[in-house]
């Protein structure tokens, strides 16, 4: 019955919402890309650190 917002105003609000969501998505992706190399390096370091421990423990059981 009572349209408080004209049609033109709704289109502008929708455009602003899309811009904010796009910026948020870009920030999220950039943070993910920034952290991936560090996570891979950390995973490789943990993997190499745990390998000698398993070899030593199997050497004692023989």
pTM value?
0.55
Helix, strand, coil proportions of the chain in percent (round to 5)? 90, 0, 10
Q: What is the pLDDT of residues 20-55, one digit of tens each?
A: 999 999 999 999 999 999 999 999 998 888 875 555
CA 36 to chain centre: 9
Q: What is the pLDDT of residues 3-19, one digit of tens each?
A: 666 656 667 899 999 99
Share of the chain above pLDDT 70, in %: 65
Whole-number Å distance between alpha carbons of 7 and 11: 7
């Amino acid at each position: 019955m009572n349209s408080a917002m004209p049609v033109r105003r709704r289109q502008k609000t929708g455009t602003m919402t899309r811009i904010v969501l796009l910026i948020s998505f870009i920030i999220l992706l950039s943070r993910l890309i920034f952290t991936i190399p560090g996570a891979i390096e950390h995973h490789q370091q943990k993997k190499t650190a745990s390998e000698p421990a398993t070899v030593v423990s199997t050497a004692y059981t023989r």
